[in-house]
């Protein structure tokens, strides 16, 4: 659950037959179907917009250098993907950052080392966010090591891809435990600590457009994301008079390692061609948005949802081809 291994921001029409054909084999990250095997699809017939070089969207210059000097942050699920990008962006802005993972310790240590190389404090906190007592201990550890918790980003997630009628309930429950309860435990523990601090703090919950637009084969994930959206807004109401801001961030379909759990490179290319911008987003672009919600520049923002989804939530006519079809 170190990264968002999910279907966040994916319009169902982007896959047509490919999504349906691979939904079973993708459950354990073993999908072998390529785009060339998808009925009605051919790699050779892909639109020109498919082969978009995402390199320029990964530039560190994309992350505005908001000032987080003297602040301490905890980012859950930050060994890879969006969480990693957020942790590094906060550090570039001056924050000390605790990197969380439940596995992938080596990758988490690499992120912490990058943060320390920037002159910030950082260490790895191994914690399964579905364990409430472990989350509370992790937050206490941050305060013990760094002195305070000024920013909390709930990013850790788990997701299986199964039709509801065929779902293995073990995976279904695990998705809820990590993606819903894990977020709630983190927000609660962070808020409890921030209430003890004169400086209070800021909280951002990374959710998904699928809190609003359900994605088939991801019922548990859709449910969890809808729940944490309301959890975050409720927390914002309860904490606004206490000087603690709570916001939600909705990323679209992002090019992260977690997507390879469900899709081949060819399938990702086919799916990207159906998006309004004909490309996936990058973790660095998402970090830009998350950093804004945590910054002083967003001081009048709480209980809000910032969406960076590449236009997937726009009305259907925005997805027409250049020829108007």
Residue 18 confidence (pLDDT): 38
Residue 254 confidence (pLDDT): 85
- Does 177 have pLDDT greater than 80? yes
- Does 145 have pLDDT greater than 70? yes
Find, among 49, 33, 55, the residue nearest to 266 by Cα.
33
- Does 3 have pLDDT greater than 60? no
Higher pLDDT, 69 or 12: 69
Tokens standing for residue 191 = 């808020």
**12-26+63-318 has CATH 2.130.10.30 classification:** no
pTM attached to this predicted model: 0.82
Residue 248 DSSP SS3:
strand
Residue 13 confidence (pLDDT): 47
Give Cα separations from 189 to 58, 100, 129, 154, 162 (angstroms): 32, 15, 11, 11, 32
Question: Mean pLDDT, to the nearest integer, of 55-80?
Answer: 80
Higher pLDDT, 12 or 219: 219
**Active site (annotated) includes residue 123:** no
Q: Per the residue annotation, which of 66, 158, 221, 300 is the catalytic one? A: 221
Residue 115 confidence (pLDDT): 97
Residue 316 · residue 274 · CB < 8 Å: no
CA distance 325 to 312: 17
Question: Mean pLDDT, to the nearest integer, of 296-317?
Answer: 91
Residue 317 confidence (pLDDT): 52
- Does 1 have pLDDT greater than 50? no
Q: At what angle do helices 132-146 and 182-194 cross, to 10 degrees?
A: 40
What ranges do the domains of the chain cover? 12-26+63-318
CA distance 74 to 87: 8
Residue 308 DSSP SS3:
strand
CA distance 108 to 78: 7
**Model pLDDT for residues 17-29, shown as the tens digit of each residue:** 334 433 433 333 3
- Does 185 have pLDDT greater than 60? yes
């Amino acid at each position: 659950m170190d990264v968002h291994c999910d279907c966040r921001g994916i319009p169902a029409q982007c896959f047509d037959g490919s999504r349906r054909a691979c939904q079973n084999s993708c459950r354990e990250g073993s999908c072998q179907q390529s785009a060339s095997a998808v009925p009605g699809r051919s790699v050779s017939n892909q639109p020109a917009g498919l082969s978009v070089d995402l390199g320029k969207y990964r530039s560190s210059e994309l992350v505005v250098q908001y000032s987080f000097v003297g602040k301490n942050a905890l980012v859950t699920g930050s060994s890879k993907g969006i969480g990693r990008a957020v942790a590094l962006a906060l550090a570039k802005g001056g924050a000390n950052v605790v990197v969380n993972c439940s596995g992938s310790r080596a990758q988490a240590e690499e992120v912490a080392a990058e943060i320390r190389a920037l002159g910030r404090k950082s260490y790895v906190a191994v914690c399964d966010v579905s364990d409430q007592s472990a989350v509370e201990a992790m937050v206490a550890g941050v305060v013990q090591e760094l002195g305070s918790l000024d920013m909390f980003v709930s990013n850790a997630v788990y997701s299986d891809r199964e039709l509801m009628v065929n779902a293995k309930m073990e995976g279904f429950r695990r998705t809820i435990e990590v993606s819903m309860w894990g977020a709630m435990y983190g927000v609660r523990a962070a808020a409890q600590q921030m209430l003890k601090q004169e400086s209070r703090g800021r909280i951002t919950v990374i959710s998904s457009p699928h809190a609003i637009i359900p994605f088939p084969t991801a019922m548990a994930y859709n449910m969890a994301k809808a729940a944490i959206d309301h959890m975050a807004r409720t927390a914002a109401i309860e904490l606004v008079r206490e000087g603690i801001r709570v916001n939600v961030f909705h990323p679209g379909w992002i090019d992260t390692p977690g997507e390879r759990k469900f899709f081949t490179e060819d399938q990702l290319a086919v799916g990207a061609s159906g998006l309004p911008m004909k490309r996936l987003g990058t973790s660095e672009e998402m970090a830009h948005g998350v950093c804004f919600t945590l910054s002083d520049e967003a001081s009048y923002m709480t209980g809000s949802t910032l969406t960076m989804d590449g236009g997937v939530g726009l009305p259907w006519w925005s997805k027409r081809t250049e020829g108007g079809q």
